[in-house]
Structures are given as C-alpha cells and as structure tokens.
Amino acid sequence: MKLNNIELNFDNFAGEMVKLKSEKHFDYLVTIIGEDFGEEGLGCIYILENTQSHERCSTKVIAKQVGEDYVIPSVLKIWNAADLLEREVFDFLGIKFLGHPDMRRLFMRNDFAGYPLRKDFNMSPEANRFPTTDEPETDFTTEWNLDKHGNLVATRHRLFDEDDFVVNFGPNHPSMHGVLRLQAVLDGETVKHIYPHLGYIHRGMEKMMESMTYPQTLAMTDRLNYLCAMMHRHALVGVIEDGMGIELSERIQYIRTIMDELQRIDNHLLYLGTAAQDMGALTAFLYCMRDREHVLNVMEETTGGRLIQNYYRIGGLQDDIDPNFVENTKTLCKYLRPMIQEYMDVFGDNVITHNRFEGVGPMGLEDSINYALTGPAGRAAGWHNDVRKNHPYACYGQVNFKEITLDGADAMARYMVHINELYQSLDIIEQLIDNIPEGEFYIKQKPIIKVPEGQWYFSVEGGAGEFGVYLDSRGDKSPYRLKMRPMGLTLTGAFDRMLRGQKVADLVTAGATIDFVIPDLDR
C-alpha cells in the first residue's frame, strides 16, 4: 500500500485524530512510525484502519519544537494501543507525547544518552560505550504537558506504592518465552498492576537497516519471531516489491503462500505445546514438538533451514522447491489432520485446562480493537482482523478458507482459535499443493536494487498477529527509514488491562495463550 498521508499540523492534530475515530470509524491504530524527516524535522506517521470497511489511511504530523524538545499531543486517550507505540517513538526519536502518563524509555536503558533514530545521532563506538553499571530504576514516571505560555511542564506519577509487593517475571523466567520482563505488583496472589519492560534483546534492527542495501536487510527479518520467519520475510520483500512495482509469477505466489502456511502450522504447533507446558502439562508439549519436527523436515528440504529459513528474496525465491516437496507436504497434511484431535485429547479437552483457561485474561471486542490485539487473540474476541482476508496478498485472494472468529474473548477462545486455524492452514495448503503452476521462481533484478521515492506499508498475517513493514525510500540503495510493526508489542501492552484483578497463575496463562515471542517485539 503506497501511503498518501493526510498532513496534519500540531494545532489541528488532536482534533482531527478524534474525528477520524469517531466520524470515520478508524478505530484500529495499526502503528505509529516515528521518523526523522530531515529538513522537515521530526514527526510521526499514524496508520489507521476502519474495522468495518477495512479501509486504511495514514496521517502525518510534524512535531512542534519547544526549546530543545519536540512534542506531539498523545493519542493514548483515543487508542489505548498508543501506549507502548508512543513510548517507542519517544525512546528512539525523543518526541515527547503530551498527556501520555508514562514517558519512560521502552527499549533502551533509562540512562541512555541521545535518540538513536535521529539522523544526527553519533554512531561512533567511542560515544556508545557498553555500560558496565546496573540500569538505574525509578519508581516514578513523567507526564509532559504544555502550560498556557507554551512551556513544557513535567508531572510525576508514582508507579509503586510504598508497601507494594513487586515481583519481576523475567527477564529470565521459564514462561516468558524469551527475555521479557513483566513487573507485577501483587496483592497476595492477586495481580494489581503489570508494567512491561522491553529491550533485553533489542538489536536496533531498524537503525541497522538504514545503512544496509535492500538485499542485506532481508537477513534481519528471520531473526525476529523465529517461528514466523517466512511471514516476516514476506512482509519485507512485499514492501520492497511494492515499491519497485515488480510483478511476480504465479509460481512464486503459490510457493510463498504454501510456505507461509507451513510456517503458520509450525508456529501454532509450538504455541499449543508451550501453552500446555506453561500449564505444567509437559506431555502435551512433547506431542506438539514431535509433530513440529515433521513440519520442519518438509521445509528444511527446500530451504535448508529449520529456524532461520532465508527463503524469499526480492523478486522471488532463493531457489526452486525440492523435487519431493509436493509429495512430502501432502504426506504431512494427511498425517497432521488426525493429530490435531490428539492435542485436544491430551490437553485441550482436559477439565483442568478448561478451568485454567476459561475466563482468564478477558478482553472484549471493543478493548481488543482499542488495544490493537491483532491475530488469534483478537479473533478470539470476534474481531475480523485476518490480514489474509482483509488485505489479500500472494494467493490468499484465490483460496477458500474460513477466518476463525470466536466470542469467548478469553484464554480458552485464544487456544481454540489456534487449533481451528491449523485445520484452515492445512486446507489452504491442500488446495494449492497440487496446482503449483510452472514458471520462474525468481524474476531477475538489477544488480543494485533501488526503490523509487515514496512511502509504502505492507502487512501480512503473522502467527500471532499482523506483521507490517513501513518503508520510506528516498530513491537510494538503502532504505531511508524502515519500521516494522511487531506482532507482540501491542499484545504486551494489553497485559495490564487484561490481568488486573486476576491471579498470578493467570499471568502465566495469559502469556501462554497470547503467543508472543520476544525477539519479535524487541527487534
């Protein structure tokens, strides 16, 4: 999607954004992209979606300079999803969002100096020594506002009360699926608050990509959510191909669709396994891992990779499919169908599982949209948010499959969405696998790939939600700004809302069923 930004300025921004939501029903905030536009200054692009017509629009606003600081009014009151998204922009670009109650850094350390995504950031190693001290922690957050004279004023908010029992879940914790740190304020067994801390595996991918050529940037995406390597790569090559206007052959589209779905099966199998493991049912975990092995074997024969797939490239695929791929995939589909029932027998239908999952982490339809709970988590609340249906890419427009939506809006519904999606993925693969057309697996590109000037956004349905890539090109051989919309960031942002008043054990349940992988949300 080429972006045609609605240009707003500081003064009319807040009003126009409210209007977009209330009058035009743009109620889903896809992402906020903070960018250093060069001479224009710092600013943000907001991508919004109307959840009824699935129409998307984007608005652009340039931050107002107040002394040394840059400010934009916060949209947190309009879209709750903006909470972590705005903190991310503040962290990377130093834009202060007026009225946001929690303007702390999100990924970088609290004592990090400078804002890395600004173009004038000093990248020299001497200026960026590896810190050898502990990160200073504060019990306070700051809210910034403008007073009537136009000066910035800070208001301090307390995060913890004196007698709060604060327990850190993570960064190193068995059920955090990586290095996420959830700071939970407990009252006995009951959760009072959850503050997520991110950045323990932040690698600055977006910054790195700005100094890489387009083919080089591809290597990054597999290292995000390593269970959705194919989908991530798909989004990145998708946005570049969009920008360059490359027409892909049918064969490429077919293979990409099949590979995406295989990857989804891989992701969902691991999800079902780890969900069981976090509930203490190790047996169900190993059943899923056993079958995931078969999926990986099928992919490995073609791509050579099991975790890091490295298969798509700009203009097609790295190589043609393996001669046995079609046969193996068909065997796999036949094998997997009855196995899904087995996961239900061994774990999903268990009475304890039902007791543990039902009513846990409730998040209704309205909240799901407001907090941008995309993917299976949102579909469990009845939100039709499947990118494959709403904005079809590759072959998804041609195949028959159901978008699974349930209305339980709790952990059980999220689990069931995953189970049912496995069947849908198998359906998609079986529809395509026999009809892969002949043709080129790679459309030859120029040795140096350049994308014409413009801004594009391309999103795919990842395993845990919408994964999108925004590309701002200035006609160069490397991107001017490349921003990824991770699947897990908004899911993590919803944790506090989801778990307040629930039990500690529910924190693990909610984390297990919401399916986040930390390298994806830290980037």
**Pairing relationship of beta strands 69-73 and 95-98 according to DSSP bridges:** parallel
- Give the nearest distance from C-beta 340 to another protein in angstroms: 16
514 binds another protein (CB under 8 A): no
Q: Which range touches another protein (CB under 8 A), out of 135-143, 168-176, 313-321, 445-453?
A: 168-176
Q: How far apart are CA 509 and CA 230, in angstroms?
A: 27
Q: Which of residues 188-247 bind another protein (CB under 8 A)?
A: 188-189
Q: Which of 89, 179, 508, 514 binds another protein (CB under 8 A)?
A: 508
Residues written for the chain: 523
Nearest to 74 by CA among 142, 156, 140: 142
Query: Which C-beta is closer to another protein: that of 162 or that of 438?
Result: 162
**Cis peptide, bond prior to residue 171, ω within 30 of zero:** yes
Structure tokens given for 308: 């890091």
Query: Which C-beta is closer to another protein: that of 255 or that of 346?
Result: 346
Query: Which C-beta is closer to another protein: that of 182 or that of 460?
Result: 182
The strand pairing partners of 145, in sequence order, are 153
Q: Which range touches another protein (CB under 8 A), out of 17-25, 72-80, 467-475, 506-514?
A: 506-514
Structure tokens given for 176: 């955090």
- Give the nearest distance from C-beta 394 to another protein in angstroms: 35
Q: Which of 174, 323, 452, 475 binds another protein (CB under 8 A)?
A: 174
Which is it for the CA torsion 396, 365, 85, 199, positive or negative?
A: negative
- Give the nearest distance from C-beta 274 to another protein in angstroms: 9
Structure tokens given for 285: 């975990």
Query: Which C-beta is closer to another protein: that of 72 or that of 296?
Result: 296
3 neighbors 45 (Cβ within 8 angstroms): yes
Instruction: Specify the 3-state DSSP secondary structure of 480.
Output: coil
Q: How many residues bind another protein (CB under 8 A)?
A: 36
85 neighbors 61 (Cβ within 8 angstroms): no
Q: Which of 91, 466, 506, 515 binds another protein (CB under 8 A)?
A: 506
Cβ partners under 8 Å of residue 441, min gap 6: 249, 251, 252, 255, 316, 317, 319, 320, 321
Q: How far apart are CA 287 and CA 269, in angstroms?
A: 9
Q: Which range touches another protein (CB under 8 A), out of 277-285, 305-313, 409-417, 431-439?
A: 277-285
Contact map string, positions 332 to 361, toward another protein, x by CB under 8 A: --------------xx--x-xx-xx-----
Q: How far apart are CA 378 and CA 465, in angstroms?
A: 8
Q: How far apart are CA 283 and CA 346, in angstroms?
A: 8
Query: Which C-beta is closer to another protein: that of 261 or that of 506?
Result: 506
Query: Which C-beta is closer to another protein: that of 72 or that of 281?
Result: 281
Query: Which C-beta is closer to another protein: that of 255 or that of 284?
Result: 284
Query: Which C-beta is closer to another protein: that of 153 or that of 352?
Result: 352
Contact map string, positions 88 to 127, toward another protein, x by CB under 8 A: ----------------------------------------
Query: Which C-beta is closer to another protein: that of 432 or that of 517?
Result: 517
173 binds another protein (CB under 8 A): yes
Structure tokens given for 366: 């309205």
- Give the nearest distance from C-beta 283 to another protein in angstroms: 5
**Helix 250-278 / helix 229-244 crossing angle, nearest 10 deg:** 150
Q: How far apart are CA 520 and CA 514, in angstroms?
A: 14
Backbone dihedral angles phi then psi of residue 125, each to the nearest 5 degrees: -55, -35
Query: Which C-beta is closer to another protein: that of 61 or that of 276?
Result: 276
183 binds another protein (CB under 8 A): no
Query: Which C-beta is closer to another protein: that of 291 or that of 367?
Result: 291
- Mapping DSSP onto H, E and C, the string for 363-397 reads CCHHHHHHCCCCCHHHHCCCCCCCHHHHCCCCCCC
59 neighbors 476 (Cβ within 8 angstroms): no
Q: How many CB atoms are located within 10 Å of the residue 204 CB?
A: 15
Contact map string, positions 278 to 317, toward another protein, x by CB under 8 A: xxxxxxx-xx--x---------------------------
Q: Which range touches another protein (CB under 8 A), out of 42-50, 54-62, 161-169, 488-496?
A: 161-169
Summarize as ranges the residues that interact with another protein (CB under 8 A): 165-168, 173-175, 186, 188-189, 276-284, 286-287, 290, 346-347, 350, 352-353, 355-356, 503-508, 512
